[in-house]
Amino acid sequence: MKKILLLFLLFASTLLTVRTYGQATCTGGTASCNLIPQDVRIEVVSKDCLTIPGKAIVTFNINFKLEANDGNKQIYFHSWLLSDYPAGIGSSIFPCAGGTENNPFLANILGGVGDNGELGFSILDIGLLNTASGDFDVPQAMGIRASNGTGGYTPDNTVLLVSPNGPNPTAPDMEVWKTLLDGGAGPDLDSISMINVVVTVPVADCVTPIAVKSLIWAAQSPSGDNAQCWAAHIGQSVDDPSIALVPLCGNPRQYSYSLQTGNTSPTQFDYTITLIDPLGVASPIVIFDSTITKSAADGLVSIGPVTVPFPYGNMGPWASWDIQLDVTSPSFSNTITTGLIGQDACATLPIKLRSFDATRNRSNVDLKWVTEVETNNKGFFVERKLSNGEWQQISFVASKAPDGNSNSPLTYVLTDFNNTKGISQYRLRQMDFDGKQSFSQIRSVRGEGQKSNTIIYPNPSGDGKVSVVFEGSNSMRDVSLIDVSGKTLRQWKGVTNNNIQIDNLNSGFYTVRIVNVETGEQVVEKFIVNKR
């Protein structure tokens, strides 16, 4: 909870292009009647496409900012799939009017039968009781309207609200917090955080993108049903692209990340990876940002492992900072985020993986992995990367566990025909039944015909970066990097992966000394860096 709340205080606001109605003109708004959300950030926690056939149950966190206004005693949020958004909003429903109040609409277009994501109806309806703001930067809980009955949706108690309260709670773990932020020269802002929101969406699978339009309205009475302010046509993408960020154990720190879109036409995505102080004291540090254009035909775009740039990867306070992936796009108005991921998430898979080995056998590579525990595991995508190419899926191996659950060791084997002469890398992309994915550590094998058991490539290096591939993958090693004068520049203790990456090297001659911790055997390899 503390990490989630700290996240909401770290980012500046960006205005969304929506319309404010009510006691203002259609094209403007006033300081006393402004419900335009700013800096909307959505984090999908899970998707369940099995419990209700043809529908997805989505759990997500969302944070946004509104101009602080304690006069808004009730604030309601209604969201529809784009295809279901009521055409009358802005005309017959919440018309563009000057200083008049408007009676909110009733259950004829809100919620469905049982609110199980019925087509044509809203998929999300939330009501909040807005109490007076406290001190700056102090989170305070907001009251959540009950799911139905007394204390539910004031205009029509038959509407089932998304809520942890009432006789029919739809989101038992849902919490809502607000934090007053100093607006400086501008108006103060309420940072509103909705955590563990659960909605049922009428999509047939966990791949179809979920895009919505929303309406927000507020009343000046804690029990009334007239709207003084409202904002409409607020568009967001809930889960497209689907993203993942996986920290990889080791020193220096590394990570892999992936992105997949369901859009059939090429779509631009801007993504940023940031280091964030878990104490919320120091400013965030952007370590990577880029733009990519992809469509559904491209499948899952996987990138990694990527080393956190020096010195943030293994020195000073940054080594313990959290990491986060954020994605924006010109095609939607919010930010899709992984949320904060700490070093406690360094485990490679949500299952317990006992071992993963890749071994060269002439023109084949034999892959073997053993799981100790599997929970909700659909199976493994086996991926291969040749030299400097892209990751490619070569096979899918279904889980051997009944219904994806097992507490006993399970062994998987796969043989890949691979006669490439250069280094090959392999990894597992594990997928849960709910669509969540994560990556194993990477195993590297030498090319066919390469004799040395320890490979350093490229050698010579033209950019100060090399990869070191060790013989086998089950041993623990201590590794030292030594320059031409005999000075030890870096050390890695207890390395269990069968490869490491070394970067930020100047031109010169280097030696790598590898000591097998279990046997004491030493291997020495040399390489050259020749920057141009």
Final residue of a domain: which of 445, 468, 486?
445
CB atoms within 10 A of CB 488: 11
Phi, psi of 8, rounded to the nearest 5 degrees: -70, -15
Count of alpha carbons within 13 angstroms of residue 67, beta-carbon side:
18
Domain interval for residue 499: 455-529
Instruction: Give the span between the Cα atoms of 479 and 524, in whole angstroms.
Output: 10
| 383 within domain boundaries | yes
| 450 within domain boundaries | no
| The predicted structure's pLDDT at residue 309 | 85
How distant is the alpha carbon of residue 361 from its chain centre? 38
Residue 280, amino acid: G
Q: Are 129 and 176 in contact (CB under 8 A)?
A: no
Instruction: Give the span between the Cα atoms of 498 and 473, in whole angstroms.
Output: 5
Instruction: Give the span between the Cα atoms of 185 and 182, in whole angstroms.
Output: 9
CB atoms within 10 A of CB 229: 26
Read off the CATH number of the domain in which 326 is found.
Answer: 2.60.40.150
149: β partners? none
Final residue of a domain: which of 196, 216, 237?
237
| 264 within domain boundaries | yes
Instruction: Give the span between the Cα atoms of 282 and 320, in whole angstroms.
Output: 13
| 363 within domain boundaries | yes
Q: What is the dihedral of CA 89, 92, 96, 98, to 10 degrees?
A: -140
Count of alpha carbons within 13 angstroms of residue 149, beta-carbon side:
8
| 409 within domain boundaries | yes
Read off the CATH number of the domain in which 520 is found.
Answer: 2.60.40.1930
CB atoms within 10 A of CB 145: 23
Residues 100 and 136 in one domain: yes
Residues 159 and 250 in one domain: no
Strand pairing report for 143-144 and 175-181: unpaired
| 492 within domain boundaries | yes
**What separation, in Å, do the N-terminal and C-terminal C-alpha atoms of the chain show?**
49
Residues 95 and 119 in one domain: yes
Residues 233 and 256 in one domain: no
| The predicted structure's pLDDT at residue 23 | 40
Count of alpha carbons within 13 angstroms of residue 68, beta-carbon side:
20
Residues 282 and 408 in one domain: no
Residues 356 and 329 in one domain: no
Residues 81 and 204 in one domain: yes
CA-to-CA dists, residue 353 to 374, 375, 393, 414, angstroms = 9, 12, 20, 16
Strand pairing report for 19-22 and 352-361: unpaired
Instruction: Give the span between the Cα atoms of 20 and 65, in whole angstroms.
Output: 15
Q: What is the dihedral of CA 22, 27, 31, 37, to 10 degrees?
A: 90
Residues 405 and 431 in one domain: yes
Read off the CATH number of the domain in which 385 is found.
Answer: 2.60.40.2060
Residues 130 and 220 in one domain: yes
- The tens place of each residue's pLDDT in the chain, 532 residues long, gives 333 333 222 222 222 233 344 444 444 444 457 788 888 889 888 888 778 888 888 889 999 999 898 888 999 999 999 888 888 777 767 665 555 677 777 777 788 766 667 778 899 999 999 988 888 988 899 999 988 766 788 888 888 899 998 887 889 889 999 999 998 888 899 999 999 999 999 887 777 788 888 888 888 888 878 887 888 788 888 888 888 887 776 667 788 888 888 888 898 999 999 998 877 788 899 998 999 998 888 877 878 778 888 888 765 678 778 889 999 998 888 889 988 887 655 544 568 888 888 888 888 999 999 998 888 889 999 998 886 677 888 899 999 998 888 888 899 999 999 988 878 888 898 888 877 777 787 788 878 776 666 888 888 888 888 888 876 656 678 889 998 888 888 888 777 777 788 888 888 889 998 888 777 778 888 888 887 6
Residues 128 and 232 in one domain: yes
Final residue of a domain: which of 204, 220, 237?
237
State the pTM of this model: 0.61
Residues 394 and 426 in one domain: yes
Instruction: Give the span between the Cα atoms of 300 and 243, in whole angstroms.
Output: 9
| The predicted structure's pLDDT at residue 12 | 24
| The predicted structure's pLDDT at residue 114 | 61
Q: What total number of domains does the chain contain?
A: 4
| 63 within domain boundaries | yes
Instruction: Give the span between the Cα atoms of 394 and 386, in whole angstroms.
Output: 12
Residues 191 and 263 in one domain: no
